Structure 1
Amino acid sequence: MFHLPMSARQSPVKMALVAVPAPFPRDIFHRPIPSPSPRQFFANHRLSLASSTSHPRPRILPIQAASTSSQARARSFAVGQVARFLKTGRYAQRVGSDAPVYLFAVLEYLSAEVLELARNAARRTGSYRGTSTWL
């Protein structure tokens, strides 16, 4: 029979739990980098009406801070919203990534033309504001 000394029998044995970290994944540098979907890409970019007047093709500009004025905000459309409406509206089985950009450019051009005609009509009458009859 195995006998322990008296001091070892009277003191309770204390066990410590030690957290062992998980091993480092060695394939972290070999994993493919996921590219953003068109919805994620276009949700973070906008085309502005001001860009179409100075350049022949509209430019994709990153969204800036929320300090834009309401007038400038009213003149810009989100490409991501156009892409979402095309996909949820069931206009086709599949929607390419270039389709919302092209449709957005057409809508931007048409809205710029209508606003220019309304501005010209307001200038002819000598007023500073356009009414809904000119639109």
Structure 2
Amino acid sequence: MKETIAFGPYEISTDPARLDRARIHRWLSTDAYWALGRSREKQDRAIDGSLNFGAYEGESGTMAAYARVVTDLATFAWLCDVYVDPAARGGGLGTALVSAVRDHLAPYGLKRVALATQDAHGVYEKIGFRPLEDPRHWMALDLR
């Protein structure tokens, strides 16, 4: 279901046709610690296999922020690749974007939405994310 939400001068949309894939790739592969050097082909595959959220400046339509969700829309979601253009930071756009993700996912009745961050705990805590009660229950398989 495509959705558009207003936030100040921005529109937050789930319409994949609006995504500026080149801009997303540039942001993530050159400025996001978790995706540095990610290839364009890999980024496009990630976009194609995910639920995507873009924030667009109202007048110009220029993409100002991005978030990606990997989910089955039934039991679990992984929020990742959240990025706000440096020129758009500091005005609450990141919080609004992640709130839009939360609100979009709420009707599906998911048990959990997870994420990993090194430096933005405060942003996510405003929206309701909390550290895991017992991270020893979680495991990961690193295939790199």
- State the TM-score, normalizing by the size of structure 1: 0.25
Name the larger-Rg structure: 1
Q: Larger helix proportion, structure 1 or 2?
A: 1
- State the TM-score, normalizing by the size of structure 2: 0.24
